[in-house]
Amino acid sequence: MNDNDHVYQVKQKIDGSEHQIAGRDINNQYIEEPLSSGNPNAIECRSCGKLISRKATVCPRCGHDFVAEYMAVQEKGRREWEDTKAYIGIALIVTIFGAVQITSRTRLDFTESLILMVILLGCLWYGWIWLSVQYETWLARRKKR
């Protein structure tokens, strides 16, 4: 056997209540050290507000699952990006189709028709946003009553 071929095998068996496991108290319960607000590794749980470790995956107080929340946020972002790509594709198709129609029915060339369609779609988009804001304002006023 060479000097580099050392194999170590450690077996440990803990029997009885008189043996203490590292990181636990005398009764082998986890030791929970309170975190201070000045600790850079402490964050507040979004559910209960308790200070917990930045590396925690679950809040020990309320059980809020941070991994599931992170995955849900990632999935929502992915779905929103898919929707955005679909809207962009639809807008491009409508713009090109409209430009072709304008070119065939007027004396404008394709470039001028394309610019006209972009302006038209921009105005429609702005109007949709304005209507959405007005509707949200109306709903907020109605809830206050």
Could you please report the per-residue DSSP string of 1-61?
Answer: --TT-----------SSS---TTB-TTSPBP-PPPPTT-TTEEE-TTT--EEETT-SB-TT
Asked if the model's pLDDT at residue 10 lies above 50, the reply is no
pLDDT digits (tens, 9 = 90+) for 50-104: 888 888 888 877 888 888 888 999 999 999 999 999 999 999 999 999 999 999 9
Please state the rounded mean pLDDT for residues 35-50.
81
Does the pTM surpass 0.75? The reply is no
| Helical axes 110-144 vs 66-105, angle rounded to 10° | 140
pLDDT at 1: 47
pLDDT of residue 60: 79
Counting Cα atoms < 13 Å in the Cβ hemisphere of 138 gives 6
Calpha distance 111→104 (Å, rounded): 13
144: pLDDT confidence band, cut at 50, 70 and 90?
confident
- In the structure, what pLDDT confidence band is assigned to residue 43 with cuts at 50, 70 and 90? confident
Model confidence pLDDT, tens digit, residues 101-131: 999 999 999 999 999 999 999 999 999 999 9
Residue in the structure block whose two tokens are 């749980």: 45
More reliable by pLDDT, 53 or 14: 53
The residue among 19 and 145 whose pLDDT is bigger is 145
Antiparallel, parallel or unpaired: β 51-53 and 42-44: antiparallel
Residue 93, SS3? helix
pLDDT of residue 21: 55
